[in-house]
Amino acid sequence: MDSIHRKHHAKILRTFRKIHRYAGAFLFVFFFIIAVSSILLGWKKNTNGWIQAPNLSGTSTDFTLWKPMDSLYQSASQTLRDSISQDVSITLDKIDIRPDKGMVKFIFLDHYWAVQMDGATGKPLFVEYRTSDLIENIHDGSILDKWFKTNTDMIKIIYSTLMGSALILFTVTGFWMWYGPKRMRHKH
């Protein structure tokens, strides 16, 4: 390798090291949060209910014996208000129906509470705080959309794009910091 090419490769290597170092220092906290939340999400079903509550079973898996959905929702909403606060929002985010368990889970929009109901009897099985949803919102940045009430996923999209791009940048610069010196030695 002639001197000009060697200097050019050394300059590229120094530039990549600088980018890697400064970007790493700037993004350290974000990568740490993503790493910890990723580990927690990976383990969520294996924490004895600490991160993700178990899905309890109702009395019947036969839909013909189940209460009407609006009746189950009303009962779940009242259970939530009786358990947490009369002022808690009962705006529904989604309904998770588990026919094999005879259970319906009502997940509310404005907070991380949910109520598991017996589909047949309409009795509450469990009031759960959805820690896994909170961790997921922290992991993907959507917690900021929730806090700032953006009604869009714009912060999540920007955050995910920046963090994904940063990971690509770290992969490329890290590879070059490993491979560049080998290439320079090999060509010398």
Q: Which two tokens stand for residue 31?
A: 């990568």
By three-state DSSP, how is residue 68 classified?
coil
- The per-residue pLDDT string of the chain (188 residues; one tens digit each, 9 = 90 and over) reads 577 778 888 888 888 888 888 888 889 999 999 999 999 999 999 999 999 999 999 999 999 999 999 999 999 999 999 999 999 999 999 999 999 999 999 999 999 999 999 999 999 999 999 999 999 999 999 999 999 999 899 999 999 999 999 999 989 888 888 888 877 777 65
Give residue 23's pLDDT: 85
Number of CB atoms found within 10 A of residue 51's CB = 19
The residue extents of the domains of the chain are 3-45+151-187, 54-129
pLDDT score for 177? 84
pLDDT of res. 45 = 95
**What is the CA angle 54-30-143, rounded to 5?**
50
DSSP labels, 83-123: HT-TTS---EEEEEEETTTTEEEEEESSSSEEEEEETTT--
